[in-house]
Structure 1
Amino acid sequence: MKFALVLALFVLGFAQVNVTSNQQGTSGGVKYELWMSGSGSGCWCYIKGQGCAFHGHWSNCGDYLCRAGNGGSTLTYAYTKTGSGGGYSFIGVYGWTTNPLVEFYIVDDWFSGGGNSGGSQKGSFSQDDATYNIFEHTQTNQPSIQGTATFEQFFSIRQGQRTSGSINVQAHFDKWNSLGMKMGSIYEAKALVEAGGGSGEIDYTSCSI
Structure 2
Amino acid sequence: MKFVFAFALAFAGSFEPLVNNTASNAECTVTSNSQGNCGGVAYELWMSGSGSGCSCTFKGDGSAAFNAQWNNCGDYLCRAGRGSGSTSGITANYAYTKQGSGGGYSFIGIYGWTTNPLIEYYIVDDWFSGGGNSGGSQKGSFTVDGATYNIWQHTQNNQPSIQGTATFEQFFSIRSSQRQSGTISVSQHFDQWASLGMRLGSLYEAKILVEAGGGSGSINYSSASI
Aligned to 2:80: 68
Unaligned runs of 5+ in 2: 1-22, 84-88
Percent identity between matched residues is 74
SS in 2 for 1:193: strand
2:48 to 29, 37, 50: 37
Q: Which residue of 2 aligns with 1:27?
A: 38
Change (3 A) 1:204 1:114: same
Range moving further from structure 2, 135-144 or 56-65:
135-144
Scaled by the length of structure 2, the TM-score of the pair is: 0.85
State the partner residue of 2:15: none
- How far apart are residue 147 of structure 1 and its match? 2.3
Residue 116 of structure 1: which of 110, 117, 133 is its match? 133
C-alpha displacement at 1:64, in angstroms?
0.9
Mapped pair 1:84 → 2:65: no
Compute the RMSD of aligned alpha carbons.
1.2
| Counterpart residue number, 2:68 | 56
Taking the aligned partners of 2:52 and 2:165, their CA distance within structure 1 comes to 26
Structure 2 CA distance for aligned equivalents of residues 57 and 133 of structure 1: 28
Alignment coverage as a number of residue pairs:
198
1:97 and 2:114 aligned: yes
Shift in Å at residue 143 of structure 1?
2.5
Query: 1:100 is aligned with what amino acid?
Result: P
Q: Which is worse superposed, 39-48 or 134-143?
A: 134-143
Q: CA deviation at 1:148?
A: 2.6
Which of the two has greater strand per residue?
A: 1
Q: For 1:125-204, what aligned pairs fall within 5 Å after superposition?
A: 125-204=142-221
Determine the C-alpha separation between the residues in 1 that align with 2:27 and 2:164: 29
SS at match of 1:138: strand
1: CA distance between counterparts of 2:164 and 2:73? 20
TM-score (norm 1): 0.91
